[in-house]
Amino acid sequence: MKKRVVPGHVLATEIPDVVIQRLPLYQRTLSLMSKEGVEVVSSFRLGELLGSTPAQIRKDLSYFGRFGKQGTGYDVSYLADRVKQILGLEKEWPMALVGVGRLGQAIARYPGFAAAGFRIVALFDTDPEKVGKRVEGIAIQSVEEMPQALKAEDIQIAILAVPADRAQPVTDLLLEGGVKAILNYAPISLLRVPPDIVVRSIDPVLVLQSMTFYLNSY
């Protein structure tokens, strides 16, 4: 596995995953504050806005360098830019979407991705009746063409919106095409991938089921 150094000269493998997952929340909050004209913010105020503690804020940010001064706080605009750089959000990321059913079409039409710097540039499906049709101006391709098409577009991020029984075979094709990060909507517990591949799974049903535990306990 290649060791990647993030801005601040820290190995990515040395940073806890929970910290990395909190960084986008920092970036969103700081960007909104900057737009509102806030110039300086304390770790205490950031903690209030993010449901965290000042100590946790300072510890998270310390992985990437020194950004604030005790008694002064953080320069909001500067810190927002630095977190954006750390997350690699200074450029646009092309993405592939696999599975263009009802969920896939909703994802393809979601404007929030492009606004955040992520652009779906390729669509794939296993249904031959869908191949050749267009969604948001993008032609749907067969998954059989996927490895070559991904390499041609240098796509490293893919969104998976296929049934559970197709998730692993499609994932294998994504890896063959050079994809390094997968956002998984398929209802499957685990995708088998090498340790250097990043997978994030989203399953609204599981979340709802965890919520009903609390409702059932009242």
Binning pLDDT at 50, 70 and 90, where does residue 218 land? confident
**Cβ(107)–Cβ(131) under 8 Å?**
no
Quote the pLDDT of residue 85: 94
Predicted confidence (pLDDT) at residue 3 exceeds the cutoff of 70: no
CATH number of the domain located at residue range(s) 5-86 in this protein: 1.10.10.10
Closest CA to 186 of 104, 87, 125: 104
| Domain boundaries defined on the chain | 5-86, 93-206
Q: Across all residues in the chain, what is the average pLDDT?
A: 92
Least confident of 102-106, 151-155, 206-210, 214-218: 214-218
156-207 residue pLDDT tens: 999 999 999 999 999 999 999 999 999 999 999 899 999 999 999 999 999 9
* 3 state DSSP class of 41: strand
Domain 93-206 in CATH 3.40.50.2000 = no
Residue-wise pLDDT tens digits, 92-142: 999 999 999 999 999 999 999 999 999 999 999 999 999 999 999 999 999
- Cα first-last separation, the chain: 47
